[in-house]
Amino acid sequence: MSVRVRFAPSPTGSLHVGNVRTALFNWLHARKHGGRFILRIEDTDRERSRPEWEAAILEDLKWLGLQWDEGPDVSGGAGPYRQSERLPSYRAAADGLLGKGMAYFCFCSPQALEAQRQERLALGLPPRYDGRCRAIVAEESARRRRSGEAAAVRFVMPSDRIVVHDLVKGDVEFLGSDLDDFVILRADGSPSYNFAAALDDHAMGITLVIRGDDHLANTPRQIAVARALGWEPPSYSHVPLIHGADGAPLSKRHGAVSVAEHRAAGILPEALVNYLALLGWSPPSGTDEVQDLSTLSRLFVLDRVSRAPARYDAERLAWFNRQHLRRLPTDRLLALMEPMPPDDLTQRAVKVLSKEVDSPGALKRAVAEIRAEPRPGSLRLTAADRRVLEALDKALAPGAVGTADEARHVLDSICRDLPGSKREFMHAARLALVGSPQGLPVATLLWILGSERAQRRLARALAAPVGS
C-alpha cells in the first residue's frame, strides 16, 4: 500500500513552529517512502477560519520547501481538500449513522449542556455529556425536528476498549465508556473536528496520521467513527509537543512562535526545517547535523522520534541559521540582498561575507557597507598615506585583482617597495576603499571591488584634503 499522509491545519491563525514540525515529519515520511503528502484545510469553524490565514499557511509551507502533492490548489483525485467544500459528504455519513441507530439527534441547548456539566462537576464526575437524548424515541425526535427545534447529531460511542497502536508511543488503551457521545454534526449542519477528520482520512486514503500528541485523546473517537462506518482506521503516530525553556508547551508567551516571525527575524527556511527536524527526532549517530531537506528525508525514520517533549532553543536555531547561511548558493544569497542590485560587486561580497557573519540581516548590512562609497570628508590622510594609495592606484591595472590571490600579490609587491610598515599601509588602504579601519583583509576587499571601482575610490580619497 503506498504511503499517504496529510497535514491538516485549521486556517484560524498563523502557522506555528509546532505545526510546522508536524507538517515536516509528514513530508519527510512521504518523501522517504515515495508516498504522497496531502494538504487538507480544516476550515469548518466558520467563525474563526479566514481565507487570508489559509493563503498565509500555503505561502509559509512553500517558503519552507514543504510542497504538497495534493491540496486545495493541486488536484489529486481525493478532493476537494477544503473541508468547507465537503459538507455534503459529512451530512450523508451522519444520515447513514442515524439510519443505523449509531447516531441520534440531541436537542440540548448550550445552557442545558452547561447546567449538566455543572451538575456532574458538583458530583465529582468528569464533565461530559450524559447521553440523555439517546433515550428520545425516533417519532418524538422527528416531531421535534419538524417543529423547527434545533438539534445536533451525536455519535453513539461504543463502550468497549479501543487500543491506539501508536508508532511513537506504543499501544495506548482507551475505554469507550469513559468517552461521551460526542457531537458529529452541529445544529447548523457543520461537522465537528473528530467526525470530519475521521471521514476525510478515509476518503483521502490516508495510511498514517502523524500529528501532535495533544490529539491523542481524539484518536479513539476517530477510530470509533471509522469502525462504525465499516472502515479500517489509518495507523497513528503522535509526536510529543515542542516546549519552551520553562517546560510548558511552546506558545506566544515564549516569544516568536510563528513561521512569519521567524522569517522576519532573518531565519532561513533551510535552517528552520533542519532545526525542527532534529527537534524530537535524531538521525543515525555519526550523521552531520546540518542537512538539507532531501538528505533529511532519506534519513528520516519515525521510530527514532523521541517520546519526550522537545525543548525549543533559539540559540541552537541561530547556530543552524549560521551553518546554512555559509552553505547557501549564490542565487539564494543574492535574493536575500534585494533590493540591492545582484551585480558583480554584490555577488563577490556575499560569497565572502556569508562566511563571516551570523545572519542574513548582518550580511545585508555588511554588503551595503562595502557597496557604499566612503565619504571623502570622513578621511584624514597623511602624506605617507597618500604615497601608499598612489602606489596602489598605479598597481591596479585592469584585471590585476581578478582573484583574492592576485590581489594579495599586488599588495605584497607594493609593500616590498614602500618604506612604511605593512600595517600602516593596510590601514590607509582600507580607509580609502571602504571608509572603515576594520573589516575584511584589504586583498579580499580589492578582489570584491575590482580594479576599476577600487581605483575610483582611491581617486576620491586622494582628492580629499591632506590631514595632519
Note the residues at the interface with ligand GLU (CB under 6 A). Answer: 8-10, 42, 197, 211, 215
Residues with Cβ within 8 Å of residue 197, at least 6 apart in sequence = 8, 42, 218, 222
Is 351 marked active-site? Answer: no
Beta bridge partners of 39: 7
Nearer to ligand GLU, 93 or 401 (CB): 93
Nearer to ligand GLU, 211 or 322 (CB): 211
Give one word for 34, left, alpha or beta, with left for phi > 0 and alpha for psi -120 to 50.
left
Beta bridge partners of 305: 281
| Least distance between ligand GLU and beta carbon 456 (Å) | 57
Nearer to ligand GLU, 42 or 70 (CB): 42
Cell numbers representing residue 217 in the block = 485523546
| Least distance between ligand GLU and beta carbon 370 (Å) | 45
| Least distance between ligand GLU and beta carbon 197 (Å) | 5
* Total Cβ atoms within 10 A of residue 232: 9
Buried-state track 166-178, b at ≥16 Cβ within 10 A, e below 16? bbbbeebebebee
Catalytic residue selected from 100, 252, 355, 394: 252
CB-count burial class (<10 Å; 0-12, 13-18, 19+) for 462 = middle
| Least distance between ligand GLU and beta carbon 59 (Å) | 17
What is the C-alpha to C-alpha distance for residues 108 and 104, in angstroms, rounded to an integer? 12
Nearer to ligand GLU, 223 or 381 (CB): 223
| Least distance between ligand GLU and beta carbon 238 (Å) | 10
Asked whether the beta carbons of 338 and 368 are under 8 A apart, the reply is no
Nearer to ligand GLU, 309 or 435 (CB): 309
Cα torsion 73, 75, 81, 84 to 10°: value is 70
Report how far Cα 162 is from the mean position of its chain's Cα atoms. Answer: 33
H-only helix segments in 310-441: 314-327, 330-336, 344-353, 360-371, 383-395, 404-417, 422-434
Nearer to ligand GLU, 9 or 71 (CB): 9
HSE at residue 258, side-chain half, CA atoms within 13 A, is: 13
Nearer to ligand GLU, 176 or 212 (CB): 212
| Least distance between ligand GLU and beta carbon 266 (Å) | 27
Residues in the chain: 468
C-alpha separations of 403 from 347, 389, 407, 468 in Å = 13, 20, 6, 35
Write out the catalytic residue numbers. 252
